Structure 1
Amino acid sequence: MSNPVIQLNGISKKYGDFTAVNTLDLSINEGEIFGLLGPNGAGKSTTILMLMGLTEPSAGSVNVCGINSTSKPIAVKKKVGYLPEDIGFYDDLSGLENLIYTARLNGFNYDSAKQKASELLDRVGLGKQKTKKTSKYSKGMRQRLGLADVLIKDPQVIILDEPTTGIDPKGVQELLSLIKKLSVEQNITVLFSSHNLHQVQQVCDRVGIFVKGKLLAEGNINELSQKLFTHGMYLIELEIDAPNKGSVDLKNITKLLEPLSGIQNVSFTDKRFQIECSSDISSSIAKTIIQANYNLNFLSKKEYGLDAIYNRYFEGGLNDV
């Protein structure tokens, strides 16, 4: 059963004649990693500001953890941890000292703050560098420290705004793995704002595609793929040979598969059969082909990645759905 932690109802944000966010409805569930995907200027950061109560919507309502962000922004900030693209620390203090300072601001006494900070530094992989001044930290280390910083108050929601910018590939993978682990182990809801398609696809449960202040689509990769490219159908591709190297006839294969439930259409292109069906019956198709003494060389459920989905929306694909 879904349990919405972030609920946006018809929110808009205007700056004079410019509409930064246009009538946005969005629901994000507890423990979910949701990716806000879109180019710079799409409205992602403005949406985050409204979520945190840092700016008021021109219309609509914003609720985070059951709290109205507009009327009770301080209460929301107690529930939400925010990691921006560039996070600032006191460079003359160590990682441990920076975290102790944050913990003290959040009401911890010194001993509890030190213990909590040490535990978090170990969790994000900075235990051995905790006494090093943050001026000596790499960008990846600073982002890890930033993640520990937002966790110090045990937030229910973490908002990550382009958190991997400027980090080397190894550091990116480590940070993404850590985010995924935290979501699973602590049931933390994560809002991941980025324009990096590969990273969003790698870590997010669902995505929302933002363009010019509007949410054009939302869902998991499979849902968006089916909606845009296969019109709600599953598309299964086959490559087969007939017994004794005989010819493979489209009419015969269509007749062979016809008794299977859910088959909508069978076609043949580029030496492969394309089968549209209303459910994933890959195993039944494979069994039928093999029992008819055909050689099954290839079977795949066709899926389109986030790059194809994203590009489709920017190439007029929206008019087709």
Structure 2
Amino acid sequence: MDTVIDIHELTKSYNETKAVDRLSLQIKRGEIFGLLGPNGAGKSTTILMLLGLSEPDSGTINVLGLNPTREPIPVKRRVGYLPDDVGFYEDRTGLENLMLTARLNRIPDSQARERALELLEQVGLTQAAHKKTGAYSRGMRQRLGLADVLMKSPEIIILDEPTLGIDPTGMEELLRLIRKLSREQGLTVLLSSHQLHQVQQICDRVGLFVRGRLLAEGDVVGLSRTLFADDPIMITVELDELRPELRDEISTIEGVHQIEVPTLESDPAEHADTPIRDLPAKILIRADRDCSPEIARAVVNAGAQLFSLNRQQYGLDEIYHRYFAGGDEHGRAKSVERTG
């Protein structure tokens, strides 16, 4: 896949504050990339520079082979932008608003009407096509905004906090729609957000952005592997019973350094209605490496029945906490290791 957004050492300051600090990032065609960070991290400033709406102090930006600072109009023709709060003419219908957008992009009315109706169907607004947008819900406005962005058939769409203020059901629907459109049409999507779950759910890769700096980027699995490389691996095993010889066997596996057997008293309510004799045995194993295959083999060889074996997985919640909730210096160190 070719690179459609190429940013190198991008810097932007307001007064004495660096909103974006030496940002370098590449995004491939057809990729959904999530720019993740708290409010004030510099995400929106980065987007404004990508669109040619703000000029960087230093560094370079290349969007589809164009320099947004010098060629903002050609960039806007090929890039769609959905802000966090979409503005429409509220006394006009959804269809009428899309037709206005088409005229601004010099799309003939006959062609525009057909495309507008098609897009309204794709975003699930066919029944509301002739309804005034002033009566639209927040979720409906965001879906209409997505249709509006797609009217000019862009190659890239940039979405700034697209699910802000939408109820959970509407959020899920919008995210599925974005992913579906990206996969079907080969759209490149840059999604800016501070909401962890949505980024993990939809994006191919994420970038962790804080205080104007990109601390790390990659897929969630790769980020967790890098960030938690020094943490012990937690493996949970459930089996019919824990024989002393099996525990001894597991303790000899290379990398295993601690075995715990939780007691029922830790959560008695969970097993209140279950006879003690029918409860599975649970083992918590801490190891320096993933030795799940050896543990499973030891259980089977001992003649025990293995019910489940799970290795702890770190999601964006844990990654976010490590980087942003007091883990900034740790994150910077890891970022240096990654890029050095």
Structure 1 length normalisation: TM-score?
A: 0.89
Unpaired runs of at least 5, structure 1: 259-263
Aligned to 1:311: 321
Cα 1:248–1:68 shift into 2, 3 Å? farther
- AA in 1 matched with 2:258: S
Is 2:322–2:328's contact at 8 Å kept on the other side of the alignment? Answer: yes
Aligned to 1:261: none
Structure-1 separation of matches of 2:112 and 2:2: 31
Deviation of 1:56 (Å): 1.0
Counterpart mapping for 1:1-321 below 5 A: 2-231=1-230, 235=233, 237-239=235-237, 245-247=242-244, 251-255=248-252, 257-258=253-254, 264-269=255-260, 270=262, 271-277=283-289, 282=292, 285-320=295-330, 321=334
Deviation of 1:79 (Å): 1.3
Deviation of 1:241 (Å): 5.4
Structure-1 separation of matches of 2:259 and 2:18: 47
SS at structure 2 position matched to 1:115 = helix
Is 1:6–1:65's contact at 8 Å kept on the other side of the alignment? Answer: yes
Deviation of 1:111 (Å): 0.5
SS at structure 2 position matched to 1:207 = strand
Structure-1 separation of matches of 2:69 and 2:257: 54
Q: Per-residue displacement from partner, 1:154-201 (whole Å, max 9, x unpaired)?
A: 111111111111212211111111011111111111111111111111
Structure 1 window deviating more from structure 2 (283-292 vs 103-112): it is 283-292
Structure 1 runs of 4+ off > 4 angstroms? 240-243, 248-251, 281-285
Is 1:12–1:23's contact at 8 Å kept on the other side of the alignment? Answer: yes
- AA in 2 matched with 1:273: I
SS at structure 2 position matched to 1:277 = coil
- AA in 2 matched with 1:310: Y
Cα 1:267–1:104 shift into 2, 3 Å? same
Q: Per-residue displacement from partner, 1:71-101 (whole Å, max 9, x unpaired)?
A: 2111111111000011111112111111111
Structure 2 length normalisation: TM-score?
A: 0.84
Structure-2 separation of matches of 1:241 and 1:266: 20
Is 2:250–2:256's contact at 8 Å kept on the other side of the alignment? Answer: no
Is 1:289–1:296's contact at 8 Å kept on the other side of the alignment? Answer: yes
- AA in 1 matched with 2:197: H
Cα 1:246–1:23 shift into 2, 3 Å? same
Cα 1:138–1:166 shift into 2, 3 Å? same
Structure-2 separation of matches of 1:180 and 1:248: 50
Unpaired runs of at least 5, structure 2: 263-282, 335-340
Sequence identity of aligned pairs in percent? 52
Is 1:89–1:134's contact at 8 Å kept on the other side of the alignment? Answer: yes
Count of equivalent residues: 310
Structure-1 separation of matches of 2:15 and 2:107: 43
SS at structure 1 position matched to 2:244 = coil
Is 1:254–1:266's contact at 8 Å kept on the other side of the alignment? Answer: yes
Structure-1 separation of matches of 2:250 and 2:88: 65
Coordinate RMSD, CA, aligned: 2.2
Structure-1 separation of matches of 2:22 and 2:128: 46
